[in-house]
């Protein structure tokens, strides 16, 4: 494309992934956040639970000052306490729902425009039961978010068998799930991530076509799944072109082409397209972010 990709979407980045050092101290967090906010390439910064309570006022003030937008990921709320939103144990399931409700409260406090979460583990052969539990939980989360304001809720599709081993997962399950939620809750949508697609074993078309009416948010990134002994194996989002990894300029271009073809990326569009990239051992955070931006621009030039 000759046109700038920012004419077709709002570019974002997951802060804690790109700058893992941000959790080291309050000052480290502010420094990392400022790097994103002073970079006009980005219109959206993706946050999560703030690691220090003292940031509750300074973070939204900084984002507002920079005239930037923000989203909130509730993933860490489940990971940190090993909670399963689709547990078949009712007490465990409810504990996960309550944790996400607390996250929704924080998301509203920070002024973010969207709340995100993910499905969790399952037992092979019982996928239908776990899906029912996930649907029940999601309806509770959507209802709670709507009771507080107009912030939409997104479920991010993860790998099914490799790393996070989430129920959702394969596109056929994601479609069943979305079909059960969306007729009742118009504040709900699906987030897809091109780094998770190879981990599920699907092509871009196979991952996208069944769920395209429900896609509300898109991540781009990379994964390494060729060598389980590699320290970067799994859902660790190495930079594009990382040795032995799956995604580089050509793959990213094909994914962006698909997003344009289905109408997610369109001229004048305001949908979010965010990087989820992470420095691997010995890598510089800023250089990994530069890699992501450069690869995206090269890939976009190949889009028709």
Q: Residue 221 has what pLDDT?
A: 98
Q: What is the mean pLDDT of residues 161-168?
A: 96
Listing DSSP states for 212-266 in one string gives GGGEEEEEE---B-S-TTSTT-BS--PPTT-TT-S--HHHHHHHHHHHHHTTSS-
Q: What is the mean pLDDT of residues 192-198?
A: 97
| Mean pLDDT, the chain, integer | 97
Q: Which superfamily does CATH assign the domain made up of 5-301 to?
A: Divalent-metal-dependent TIM barrel enzymes (3.20.20.150)
117-132 tens-digit pLDDT: 999 999 999 999 999 9
pLDDT of 2 above 90: no
Q: Residue 177 has what pLDDT?
A: 98
Q: Residue 130 has what pLDDT?
A: 98
Q: What is the mean pLDDT of residues 223-251?
A: 97
Place of tokens 């997104």: 154
pLDDT of 133 above 90: yes
CA-closest candidate to residue 99, choices 80, 120, 122, 71: 80
- Percent of the chain beyond pLDDT 70? 100
Q: Residue 245 has what pLDDT?
A: 97
Bridge partners of 89, per DSSP, are none
pLDDT of 11 above 90: yes
Distance CA 70, CA 151 (A): 12
Do 267 and 8 form a contact (C-beta atoms < 8 A)? Answer: yes
Handedness of CA 221, 226, 230, 233 (dihedral sign): positive
Distance CA 56, CA 122 (A): 35
Domain boundaries, the chain: 5-301
287-299 tens-digit pLDDT: 999 999 999 999 9
Q: What is the mean pLDDT of residues 268-282?
A: 98
79-119 tens-digit pLDDT: 999 999 999 999 999 999 999 999 999 999 999 999 999 99
Q: Residue 1 has what pLDDT?
A: 81
Q: What is the mean pLDDT of residues 215-229?
A: 98
Please list, in sequence order, all residues whose beta carbon lies within 8 angstroms of the beta carbon of residue 35, skipping any fewer than 6 positions away.
19, 286, 289
């Amino acid at each position: 494309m000759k046109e700038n990709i920012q004419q077709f979407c709002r570019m974002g980045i997951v802060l804690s992934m790109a700058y893992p050092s941000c959790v080291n101290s309050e000052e480290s967090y502010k420094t990392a956040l400022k790097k994103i906010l002073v970079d006009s390439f980005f219109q959206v910064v993706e946050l999560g639970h703030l690691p220090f309570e003292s940031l509750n006022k300074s973070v939204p003030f900084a984002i507002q000052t920079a005239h930037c937008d923000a989203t909130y990921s509730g993933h860490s709320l489940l990971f940190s306490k090993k909670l399963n939103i689709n547990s078949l144990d009712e007490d465990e399931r409810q504990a996960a729902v309550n944790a996400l409700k607390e996250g929704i409260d924080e998301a509203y406090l920070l002024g973010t425009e969207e709340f995100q979460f993910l499905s969790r583990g399952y037992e092979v052969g019982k996928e239908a039961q776990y899906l029912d539990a996930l649907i029940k939980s999601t309806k509770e989360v959507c209802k709670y978010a709507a009771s507080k304001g107009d912030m939409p809720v997104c479920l991010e599709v993860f790998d099914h068998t490799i790393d996070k081993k989430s129920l959702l997962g394969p596109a056929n399950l994601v479609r069943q799930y979305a079909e059960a939620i969306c007729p009742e809750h118009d504040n709900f949508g699906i987030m897809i991530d091109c780094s998770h697609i190879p981990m599920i074993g699907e092509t871009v078309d196979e991952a996208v076509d069944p769920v395209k009416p429900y896609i509300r948010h898109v991540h781009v990134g990379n994964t390494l799944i060729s060598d389980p002994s590699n320290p970067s194996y799994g859902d660790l989002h190495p930079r594009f072109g990382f040795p032995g990894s799956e995604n580089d300029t050509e793959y990213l271009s094909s994914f962006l082409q698909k997003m344009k073809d289905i109408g997610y990326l369109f001229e004048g569009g305001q949908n979010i397209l965010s990087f989820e990239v992470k420095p691997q051992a010995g890598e510089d955070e800023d250089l990994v972010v530069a890699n992501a931006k450069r690869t995206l621009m090269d890939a976009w030039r190949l889009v028709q």
